[in-house]
Amino acid sequence: MYHHTKPIRLHEILILVGIIFLLILLVVHFLPYSSILFKRETLRLFIDRAGIFGPLVIIFVMVLETVVAPLPGIFLPTISGFFFGFWLGSLYAYIGDVLGACVAFSLARHFGQPFVQRIASQETVERSQILINKYSRYLFILYAVPIFPIDIVSLLLGISPLPFRRFLTIILLAFVPNILLLNFFGDYLFRASWWSFSMIGIVIMLCIFVWFVSNTRRKSTYL
Consecutive sets of 10 residues in the chain, 223 residues long: mean pLDDT of each?
47 60 60 56 76 88 79 81 92 96 95 86 79 81 86 91 94 96 88 64 65 59 48
pLDDT at position 149, please? 81
Write the burial class of residue 216 (CB in 10 Å: 0-12 exposed, 13-18 middle, 19+ buried): middle
> What pLDDT was estimated at residue 170?
95
**Alpha-carbon gap, residue 143 to 150, rounded angstroms:** 6
Q: Residue 193 has what pLDDT?
A: 64
Say what the pLDDT of residue 47 is.
Answer: 79
DSSP state string for 161-182: S--HHHHHHHHHHHHHHHHHHH
Contacts of 77 (CB under 8 A, 6+ apart): 62, 89, 93, 97, 146, 178, 179, 182, 183, 186
What's the pTM? 0.71
Question: What is the reported pLDDT for 202?
Answer: 66
User: Where are the chain's structural domains?
Assistant: 53-192
